Amino acid sequence: MESLIARQRSEREYHEQWARGAALPDTVDLSTVSGAERRPWNSYWEHFRVVREFRNTACEQRLLDFGCGCGVASLRYAAIGYRVSGFDLSEPLVQHARKLAEKYSLQSRVDFSVQTAEVLAYDDQMFDVVAGVDILHHVDVPASVREVSRVLRPGGLAVFREPVRAPIVDWLRDSWPARKLFPAGPSFEHYRTPEERKLTRGDLRSIRRVFSDVDARRYRLFSRLEGKLLPKPRPGRPSRIEMVDWFLFKCLPFMGALGGDILIIMRK
């Protein structure tokens, strides 16, 4: 791997420290990819639904897990039926992803490597799908999206779920009283790195300069307060507040700009 810039070194050091202290997952919940249940109001569930419905069962398709972390999403993509490659900046996370694939007997369907998002070692037009969950806000967006386009085949699909800045809401969140009540700095407990930042309008414009066909869907307004001012839903149960947000955005589309999560669907 080529020499890292300061931001990449910081991200790698954070994740290596986090991996040493965190209880990395040793099981993979496949309910989000089974198709038995749908939660259109939840950006994570919708991410996997879009990837699942793009799957062509008549042929083998290759998917790149863009920033695979410890490999949970990679195994979900493999369970859908894709041949999966995943990369991450952190060697300990890649090692864990390999162990997880072996546990689920999917090592023949997935492969992992240590790479940077901005300069990938994969060949041009190698993948039918590029998918990422909470990764673009850690990297150089323009350079990374150019790599997404380079490795994606014509007619291919790229799907990213990310946190995004929202007018008014994030201004209030960044205000001094809010920062005192709800600190938002780097944290191992809350899995926040020193370098990460929510996507901005400028980032979305840079994505549209690379991909002409972009569908950006916003999620979460009041549900951003779950676990802070509002109670969290029970584990495994859908969030009723997310449902309210989704219904509000559908009835009043202009409110979507206030959503704090975004699902970005790009077609080449």
Alpha carbon distance 68, 177 (integer Å): 36
Domains in the chain, please, with CATH?
6-267 (3.40.50.150)
Alpha carbon distance 176, 196 (integer Å): 20
Pair type for strands 83-88 and 62-66: parallel
Q: What pLDDT does residue 174 have?
A: 75
Three-state DSSP at 252 gives coil
Q: What pLDDT does residue 262 have?
A: 98
Q: Find the angle CA(19)-CA(25)-CA(29) to the nearest 5 degrees.
A: 150
DSSP for 139-179 reads S-HHHHHHHHHHHEEEEEEEEEEEEB--TTHHHHHTSHHHH
Q: What pLDDT does residue 177 have?
A: 75
8 Å CB contact between 186 and 193: yes
> The pTM is what?
0.94
Q: What pLDDT does residue 11 have?
A: 94
DSSP for 61-113 reads -EEEEET-TTSHHHHHHHHHT-EEEEEES-HHHHHHHHHHHHHTT-TTTEEEE
CA-closest candidate to residue 83, choices 122, 47, 35, 37: 122
DSSP 263: E
pLDDT by residue for the chain (268 residues), tens digit each? 557 899 999 999 999 999 888 889 999 999 999 999 999 999 999 999 999 999 999 999 999 999 999 999 999 999 999 999 999 999 999 999 999 999 999 999 999 999 999 999 999 999 999 999 999 999 999 999 999 999 999 999 999 999 999 987 788 777 777 777 777 778 877 788 999 999 999 999 999 999 999 999 999 999 988 887 788 888 889 999 999 999 999 999 999 999 999 999 999 9
Q: What pLDDT does residue 187 have?
A: 85
Model confidence pLDDT, tens digit, residues 112-132 = 999 999 999 999 999 999 999
8 Å CB contact between 196 and 221: no
Q: H or E stretch including 242?
A: helix 240-251
Alpha carbon distance 6, 41 (integer Å): 37
